[in-house]
Amino acid sequence: MTLSGNCRTTAMGILPHTDVEAAIKLAMTMDIPFWPQLPKVSFYEDMYVQVTENFPGIRIDEENKKILFNTEKFFEELNDFAMIMEDDETYHLSPKYSAVYRRWLEEDLSPYHAVRGQSIGPISFGLKISDENKKPIIYNNEVKDFLYDFIARKTNYQYRELTAKNPNAFMWVDEPGLEFLFGSFTGYSSERARGDFQQFLDGLEGPKGVHLCGNPDWSFLLKEVKLDILSFDAFSTGRVFTRYVEEIKAFLEQGKILAWGIVPTLTEEQASENIDTMVNRLEEFWDYLDSHGIDKKLILRQAWLAPSRCCLVNADGAATVEKAYEILNGVADRLKEKYNLGD
């Protein structure tokens, strides 16, 4: 793994913009740029819709903004899918499913330390998409097994596309559903879910990253699965997260990256924050870990910085989110200067 921390900036894929060029310009202000997912531009730019291309049994109802899955259709179309499943082009993200991604690939991505792509993860997709009986498809073992393999292939195809633009490209999967993974799911035990997710990660090429905004089983993500990058909402969950001292220490000592989502993107939360308050909040987290045996130099060496989460609900459209990026870059500059962080 050639990625390093040093308080470089990156961000989640989803942006509230309706202007494609403005969104791309904003994404490119990060040390590690990414391609924007813009659901307000088109339903096909939604991260759940984007992964459905060529998925058997699925139909997109663009007018009503719904993803429809039918079990009978799934098995009917599975035979035809078997004829194309080994063709790499089956897993590409076409202009119909993301014109923004195709536009972003026209940018010169070679000068950056790294670039990032993303996909919705199989757990979150499987929990959100339901069959004709309103049952999440993750509870259907045959569909679930197909789903994990399908998203892994999709993720790997995108990773290969990005490495052609920058050899330090990587992917992370957005997994908000991990917060609910270890509940009492009928027909999907916690033990089986853990094993399935690890097997999924094992099938991914390149550095393996997970992003989520909730408060899951941190021990599982830091210690039990093989991750290279963990991106989380430090603004909301940092005090809980930093209590997992031993797990964090082991994670960082293996050269892995924590992306600290520190700058709020919700207007009400951001109103009382600035560069100073954000730097102080991060320093409090890091000083706590340092006082419990994790050298602050190690924390900094393995740290990326990011906004706390995606946000599509602000009344001011993209203004608060753009302000968050401005604050984020200010926080990063302050810390890089203070700790003399280079490449």
Q: How many residues does the chain have?
A: 343
Q: Are 46 and 14 in contact (CB under 8 A)?
A: no
What is the distance between the alpha carbons of residues 307 and 135, in angstroms, rounded to a whole number?
A: 34
Q: In this model, does residue 188 exceed pLDDT 80?
A: no
Q: What are phi and psi of 243, to 5 degrees?
A: -80, -10
pLDDT at residue number 121: 96
Q: Where are the domains of the chain?
A: 8-338
What is the distance between the alpha carbons of residues 175 and 305, in angstroms, rounded to a whole number?
A: 19
Q: Which of the listed ranges 185-189, 224-228, 331-335 does the model predict with the highest average pLDDT?
A: 331-335
pLDDT at residue number 185: 61
Each residue of 215-234: pLDDT tens digit?
888 999 999 999 999 999 99
Mean pLDDT of 102-124: 96
pLDDT at residue number 67: 98
Mean pLDDT of 224-250: 96
Q: In this model, does residue 184 exceed pLDDT 60?
A: no
pLDDT at residue number 182: 61
Consecutive H or E run containing 209: strand 208-211
Mean pLDDT of 146-152: 98
pLDDT at residue number 186: 58
Can you give the pTM of this predicted structure?
0.96
Q: In this model, does residue 3 exceed pLDDT 90?
A: no
pLDDT at residue number 343: 64
Q: Half-sphere exposure of 258 toward its Cβ, with a 13 Å CA cutoff? A: 29
Q: Are strands 58-61 and 208-211 parallel, antiparallel or unpaired?
A: unpaired
Reported CATH class of domain 8-338: alpha beta
Mean pLDDT of 118-140: 95
Q: In this model, does residue 96 exceed pLDDT 80?
A: yes
Among 68-72, 112-116, 217-221, 250-254, which is the least confidently predicted range?
Answer: 217-221
Each residue of 276-305: pLDDT tens digit?
999 999 999 999 999 999 999 999 999 999
Q: Considering only the C-alpha atoms of the chain, give the largest distance between any 2 of them, rounded to a whole number of Å.
A: 61
Q: Report the candidate in 201, 71, 196 with the shortest Cα–Cα distance to residue 129.
A: 71
Q: In this model, does residue 101 exceed pLDDT 70?
A: yes
Whole-number mean pLDDT of the chain?
A: 95
Mean pLDDT of 54-73: 98
pLDDT at residue number 90: 97
Write the DSSP assignment of 259-299 as a string of letters.
EEEEE--SHHHHTT--HHHHHHHHHHHHHHHHHTT--HHHH
pLDDT at residue number 112: 96
pLDDT at residue number 342: 75
Q: What are phi and psi of 317, to 5 degrees?
A: 70, -115
Write the DSSP assignment of 49-113 as a string of letters.
HHTTTT-TTEEEETTTTEEEE-HHHHHHHHHHHHTTTT-GGGG---TTT-HHHHHHTTS--TTSS
Token reading at 280 = 């102080």
pLDDT at residue number 194: 86
Q: Are 247 and 219 in contact (CB under 8 A)?
A: yes
pLDDT at residue number 183: 60
pLDDT at residue number 82: 96
